Structure 1
Amino acid sequence: MNALTLPDIASQASRQPLPLEWVGMCGIALPVLFDGQRLAANADVGVSLDDGEARGIHMSRLYLALATLESETLSPALLRRTLQSFLDSHEGLSNSTHLKIHTELLLKRPALVSLLAGWKAYPVSIEARLKNAMFHVELKIDVPYSSTCPCSAALSRQLIQQQFVDDFTNKPLQHAEVLAWLGSTKGIVATPHSQRSVAQLCVRLDDYLDELPLIALINDAEAALGTAVQTAVKRADEQAFALANGQNLMFCEDAARRLNQALKRSPGINGFRVRVIHAESLHAHDAVAESHCNWEVA
C-alpha cells in the first residue's frame, strides 16, 4: 500500500483574502538560560501574515525553532537569530515577527547586617521584534521595595511631640527617665505607615548591546530606591531595615523620580517607562506614579 500524502490545509488559499498583523502561539512552556541559571519560562511567538491569499502560517515551524533558546544563554544576538529563523521558515508569507519570554530571575540577596542571605524572584519579560530588518529588544522587570509615607511620618512625630509635652511639662528632665520614655509604647505613641511597593520598569535597549542587562537594571533600581525588600533576616537586619525606611521616606512621586534619574544614567538604554505602585496600608486603594523618557505613551 502506498503511503498517503498528509493534507496541508494551511497552504490552501484563504476564503477571505486579508493580511493579518500577527498570528502565532501564546504560553509555550520552555526552559531558558540566563546568568548560569536554567529558568522555567513561557513564550509568546508569532509572525505577520502579509500574504492575504494564504490561509495560515506554519505554527509547528515556530514551535520547533524555539529549541535554540534551550541551549544558549539569552542575549540580543540569540534573540535576533531566533527571530530571523521564524521569518526564514515563512519566506513569502511574513515580513515581521515577535517573541516575548516571561520568566522569573532568581537572585541571591545578602541581609543588611548579618551574614544571612536568601533568594528573591524578579518577574521578567523579554520582548524582541524584527520587522523589515529593524530589530528591537525591550525588557520589563518588577522590582519590589518598601516605602514609608512622609506625611504619616510627620503626623506620627507630631503626636510623639505632643505626648512628650503632656508627660514632661513643668517637670525636671532626667536623662534616665527620658531614655525610658523613648523606649516605651507610652512615649512612641504613633508610627508611620509603610507598604510593600513595586517598581515596574520597561526599557528599550540600544542595538549595540551584547548582553541583556537585567541584573544591572535591578541593582540600579534597588540602589535608587534604597529599601529593597529582604529575604532571610535576623533582628539586627530588621532593625537596620527600619532605620533605612525611617531615613528614606518617600511618596510614589519620589520613587518615580528617583528611578527616572537612575535609568537615565544606565548605559545601553534608549528609552524607558516607569510605573510605581504603593499598595497603601492606610487606604483600600493604591498610590501610583508613572514617568517615561523617549517613550510614546498612548
Structure 2
Amino acid sequence: MHSHENTARLMPDVAHQAQPHLAGALDWVGMDGIEVPVRFDVGDGEVQRASAQVGAFVNLTRPDQRGIHMSRLYLLVDRHLGGSEPLSAKGLEGLLQAFLESHKDLSDRARLSIRFDALVRRAALRSGNSGWRSYPVSVEASLGPDGFALELGTEVVYSSTCPASAALSRQLIQERFTQDFAADQPIDHAAVVAWLGSEQGIVATPHAQRSVARLLVRLNDGVSFDLLDTLDRVEGALGTPVQTAVKREDEQAFALANGGNLMFCEDAARRIQRALETDDRLADFHVRVEHQESLHPHDAVAYASKGVPGGFGSGPR
C-alpha cells in the first residue's frame, strides 16, 4: 500500500504544464464566493458572527506559468477569517501578505473582498421600543508595491420628501383655505383648528419615497473599523432613516422628521458629503444617492466624494 505522501506525489498537476501559445501575464486570478464565517465589531464593542462571501485574488506575473495555487488561497482564507479574531485592518493586511508569500514566485499584488450583513439595534423615535436593522457591509483590501489599501462599503435607507411637491401642496392648501374662510368674515379659531385636522383642509400632501445612500470609504493608515460611527453620521445628517419598531407616536415623529427634512437628491448628497468631510479617519469617500421616485418611473441620482486628486471622484460608479 502506498503511503499518503507517495500517493500525493504521484498525482498529476497540469497547472504546471506551460502553454507557450497562450502565454501572458494576468491582472487577477483567484476565487469568488468563498463561504466563510467572519466576526465583526460594528463599533459598539460587541463582536457578532456573520456568514460572509469572500473573494481572494492574486495577480499572475509570469507569462509562462499556467495557473496559481488556488487551494493555498482558500486554506489561508479559512484559517485567517474563520477563527475567533474579529476583522481588523492589521489582520487583513497579514492575510494578504500570506497570499503573496504563498505565491512569491508568481505574484506581487493581492486582493481580498468580503461581503456580509451586520445587525445594528436601533431605537424607535418616541415609544421606547427598538428593533434590528441589517446593513450590508463590503470590505475591500489590497496589497502591492504601492502598499496596503482598505475600503469599507455600506448603505443607508431613508425617506426623502420632495421640496417642490411640498411647496405645490402648500399652495393648494392656501387656496382651499381662502375658499373655505372668506377674507371679509371673522376667523373662528376652533373652526380653523377643526379644518386643519380634516381631509377637506389638507387637500394635498407632498410625495416621498424610499431612498438609498450607498457609501464607500477609504480608511487612513492605522485606522480601525467603526461602521456604527459612519452610519450614525450619515443617518443623523439625513434625519429620516427608515425605522424598525413603530407605534403611532413613532410614525407621527417620522412624519414630523420628513416635514423638517425636505430634500432633493442633491441636498441629500451634500448633507452626507458634509458629514463625512469632518471624519478625519477617512482618506476618501464616494457617495451614490438614489431617490426611488414615486412621481416618475425612473430614479433621481446624485454622486459626491471628498475630492481627493485621483480618488473616488473620478467618475460615477
The aligned residue for residue 97 of structure 1 is 110
Distance 1:11 1:212 in 2: 40
TM-score w.r.t. length of structure 2: 0.91
1:241-260 equivalent positions in 2, closer than 5 A: 241-260=254-273
The aligned residue for residue 65 of structure 2 is 54
SS of residue paired to 1:87: helix
Q: Deviations over 1:218-270 (max 9, x none)?
A: 11110111111100111000000000100110110001011111111012111
The aligned residue for residue 20 of structure 1 is 26
Q: Deviations over 1:48-69 (max 9, x none)?
A: 0011111100111101101211
Distance 1:142 1:18 in 2: 38
The alignment status of 1:167 with 2:167, answered yes or no, reads no
Aligned partner of 2:138: which letter? S
The aligned residue for residue 44 of structure 2 is none
The aligned residue for residue 29 of structure 1 is 35
The aligned residue for residue 69 of structure 1 is 81
Comparing 84-93 with 3-12, greater Cα deviation is found at 3-12
Q: CA deviation at 1:133?
A: 5.9
1:162-241 equivalent positions in 2, closer than 5 A: 162-169=175-182, 170-209=184-223, 211-241=224-254
Q: CA deviation at 1:40?
A: 1.1
SS of residue paired to 1:145: strand
Q: CA deviation at 1:115?
A: 1.2
The aligned residue for residue 12 of structure 2 is 7
Aligned partner of 2:18: which letter? A
Aligned partner of 1:7: which letter? P
Q: Percent identical across equivalent pairs?
A: 54
SS of residue paired to 1:153: helix
Moved over 6 A (4+): none
Distance 1:232 1:11 in 2: 58
Q: Deviations over 1:130-172 (max 9, x none)?
A: 0126000011111111110000000000000000000001432
**Aligned residues of 1:14 and 1:52 also touching (Cα < 8 A):** no
Distance 1:105 1:88 in 2: 31
Q: CA deviation at 1:86?
A: 0.7
Q: Which runs of 5+ in 1 are unaligned?
A: none
Distance 1:291 1:40 in 2: 31
- 257, 278, 288: which one pairs with 2:301? 288
SS of residue paired to 1:92: coil
**Aligned residues of 1:226 and 1:248 also touching (Cα < 8 A):** yes
SS of residue paired to 1:93: coil
Aligned partner of 1:65: which letter? L
Q: Which runs of 5+ in 2 are unaligned?
A: 42-46
Q: CA deviation at 1:11?
A: 2.1
Distance 1:8 1:219 in 2: 52
TM-score w.r.t. length of structure 1: 0.97
Corresponding residue pairs, total: 297
Comparing 163-172 with 229-238, greater Cα deviation is found at 163-172
Distance 2:31 2:146 in 1: 22
- RMSD of aligned Cα (Å): 1.1
Distance 2:133 2:229 in 1: 15
Comparing 197-206 with 9-18, greater Cα deviation is found at 9-18
Aligned partner of 1:186: which letter? Q
Aligned partner of 2:109: which letter? S
SS of residue paired to 2:296: coil
Distance 1:70 1:168 in 2: 70
